[in-house]
Structure 1
């Protein structure tokens, strides 16, 4: 095939995404859009050259997908791909007009989507809004890469950009190709994974109800709300986690399990969690760019009489043990469980973002710095809680607005914070004793 460097099968997660993309091509579910606000001197030529070199370095950024007439879909790596970069100048518009134009542009960009059989499955726009102010819009299909990969791509872009701005060249060898991960995946023993997941999910018969959702006449679609814990609360959480050798991820999973149990009235709950999916035994895996993440069920027995600390430690041990089966395809796990085919194993997803630091222009020697980052994404689940640590604990809750209203989501964030604060204050309370009401709600009750 002309201009084809390699072809190989899809990972199970890619297969699932491909199926969903083909089933609902108009949906924006795997359309990723990142919007950066940049300040400083912008060198267009160096920027374009930098991106082309990064595409040369990472095979997955030159990948498309083929399925028609094939028994199994494949991904094709193209030798050469030209990345479209649109240059726009909105300096003549007022700040309000610029913001409206940006929203219109982002919406139109999402509507355009991607033809996943045509390279590249990404594009860029650089929008000048002041003499030294720019919006940078990077859109790509999730089939190519995960959130962990985004800062890795940016690090390379700005390493090249910095060199080109100085009139120098930079030689970074090709990164380890994604196909090595596909080969590794195919060598894994699925029968051991099956035995583990059958045992882990034995006796669980139906997805945990969310308890606070309701059907309404509101049109389908997703909304998002963002919350952050104070620096003081974040610091107390980090000290608590260090003292008791717990991860912030374990705390997030723990309070989500407790809240699900309170909302549903069930002690045995299951939710989904996103794992990095990067196998430690693959040398160089931490700097590979591609789609490695996986979504797996987390089952938690929320025993009212157990103390919070002992329960959290047991939950963490359970997750450490499950790590060796992170490669397991979710659709297989679904089949190994006793939840009927056609029903989802879970309705809520918890994502803990613990990505490598760094992004465009951070700690670089060029006069171009990031002032703000926004992004657009949504998932297939009615409720997704995204937790992350960036100076403070940040929470984003993505929700199906036909099932949740904004006030319910605000209360939910308050309940999560109340649980975290209560556990840190006294980890020897039983799970039943932990309060979930926020201060405002307690005041209303009184």
Structure 2
């Protein structure tokens, strides 16, 4: 049985989004930057043997939890796969669920070895050669094709020469990204290799979300480069066979749901929404379409190192995480815009609590709907404390499939909105570190490539994607362009930064008093408040104030 000390440490690590695992005899710790303070590091060191023993014990239990299913002609879909399958029937050609990743190669790339590595990758991960079809009774299933029938081929373009501009390269890559997949017949992994110089290439991989997620893209590149280096050496890659495949996970998940394996998780999430789902009263610039659309754009903003470090210090003092701090700032901003005391925000969890899933490619990420309450008469520090306790329950019950929750709630659906929330908040630094394992061999440098692509889709009304930089944070606000105009989102990013500054300046001041407006905005605000209108600025008002130089 796990000791109280080890349990406390593991609960703390989980709350701080720290993952621990075993690699051979070594204890591996993965954490967001700045989370592992000296005290926590010392606790891990002092209890290392007990932690290793516990992980071994759990690994032994977990390895018999998800068992390989017998080979069959078809297999059930997981809950999130079923949602994307239904969406593909309702909206054929929808590209909102395409996941791209790009890497830049510089040096002596052996294209033949790369092609071989791609084929070996597809051999290893069955999900990369899986298609989706309906049975005669209308039930969707996934079918694993033999490797020789996957239909995959590497797309190659030579873009050297003065007549090929950066615009041409972007256009070529966008064509690959935006070409729809046919889930019933296509290879759902598409890879293009673009030669931009004598020793320069860009590798673009596009994969459909129904067989992948962001974590999977790191696994894909890590496995691909291991196979590539072995092929370049003329050697066999030392890659052990996967014990289970995604089909085994999907079958396990569905069996758990049928047998009541998620009973406690289901009860927790149903209790969160027993009083209903408060819709976000955030005004758009345009009339919301009657049926949800996915056209979108992105506004990028940098948050200074000064503000980032200030937030990190405050959340550390509060015993919580940078993600919780950012989530709380977005919550405060939206509450100030709408005057709502309860807001539902979405987030994503990796969905890889099971040890066997770390090195898998598949649709494991789980969407989580967070029903958050706020008392703006209290201070930011108090709200962080409230959020810390709330997130403990979220992490404990994070495995319950989002789609099952939507089904269990039996909501009256609005065809123009996401079922539970309109705004997503994500901190994108929880992926496994791939780059160190794939670069610097065989006179070939492999570097992540900023995608020179045109953002044309948005899954939600708004998505706040935060990412750690060498200094500060990068914020991409993805927005539905059928609801919002770019000027509005630009101002929203500015408001968030000004609000963060005010919250950090006095974290004990009532959040309702934290300023985020310019002088001209305050003038307009007073006029709107006198009329009983929303505190949210439309794009037209924002543009007027921009022209006024505020």
State the TM-score, normalizing by the size of structure 1: 0.88
2:430 is the counterpart of 1:357: no
Root-mean-square deviation (CA), in Å? 2.9
State the shift of 1:121 in Å: 0.8
How many angstroms apart in 2 are the aligned matches of 1:235 and 1:309?
16
2:420 is the counterpart of 1:345: yes
2:256 is the counterpart of 1:182: no
How many angstroms apart in 2 are the aligned matches of 1:220 and 1:7?
31
* Larger fraction in strand: 1
Checking the alignment, whether the CA contact within 8 Å between 2:105 and 2:201 is kept in structure 1 is yes
How many angstroms apart in 1 are the aligned matches of 2:77 and 2:518?
45
Structure 2 counterpart of 1:222, from 296, 299, 305: 296
> Per-residue displacement from partner, 1:392-426 (whole Å, max 9, x unpaired)?
42211111112111111111112222233333333
Instruction: For residue 330 of structure 2, give the secondary structure of its aligned residue in structure 1.
Output: helix
How many angstroms apart in 2 are the aligned matches of 1:379 and 1:359?
28
Checking the alignment, whether the CA contact within 8 Å between 1:158 and 1:360 is kept in structure 2 is no
Structure 2 counterpart of 1:128, from 195, 201, 214: 195
Checking the alignment, whether the CA contact within 8 Å between 2:297 and 2:456 is kept in structure 1 is no
Instruction: For residue 350 of structure 1, give the secondary structure of its aligned residue in structure 2.
Output: strand
2:501 is the counterpart of 1:426: no
State the shift of 1:242 in Å: 2.9
Unaligned runs of 5+ in 2: 1-70, 523-544
State the shift of 1:205 in Å: 4.5
Aligned partner of 1:386 in structure 2 is: 465
How many angstroms apart in 1 are the aligned matches of 2:216 and 2:128?
11
How many angstroms apart in 1 are the aligned matches of 2:141 and 2:348?
24
> Per-residue displacement from partner, 1:68-105 (whole Å, max 9, x unpaired)?
424421112223135310221111234xx432222332
How many angstroms apart in 2 are the aligned matches of 1:287 and 1:371?
20
Q: 1:431 to 1:322 in 2, by over 3 A?
A: same
Higher relative contact order (CA 8 A, sep 6+): 1
Unaligned runs of 5+ in 1: none
Matching of residues 153-164 of structure 1 within 5 Å: 153-164=220-231
Checking the alignment, whether the CA contact within 8 Å between 1:30 and 1:377 is kept in structure 2 is no
State the shift of 1:64 in Å: 1.1
Checking the alignment, whether the CA contact within 8 Å between 1:415 and 1:438 is kept in structure 2 is no
Aligned partner of 2:486 in structure 1 is: 406
Checking the alignment, whether the CA contact within 8 Å between 2:219 and 2:359 is kept in structure 1 is yes
How many angstroms apart in 2 are the aligned matches of 1:18 and 1:200?
28
Residue range with higher mean Cα deviation, 380-389 or 291-300: 380-389
Q: 1:361 to 1:147 in 2, by over 3 A?
A: same
Q: 1:386 to 1:372 in 2, by over 3 A?
A: same
How many angstroms apart in 2 are the aligned matches of 1:158 and 1:88?
20
State the shift of 1:370 in Å: 1.7
How many angstroms apart in 2 are the aligned matches of 1:284 and 1:425?
45
Aligned partner of 2:324 in structure 1 is: 250
Instruction: For residue 492 of structure 2, give the secondary structure of its aligned residue in structure 1.
Output: helix
Aligned residues: 438
User: In terms of Rg, which structure is larger?
Assistant: 2
Q: 1:172 to 1:308 in 2, by over 3 A?
A: same
Checking the alignment, whether the CA contact within 8 Å between 2:425 and 2:463 is kept in structure 1 is yes
State the shift of 1:271 in Å: 1.8
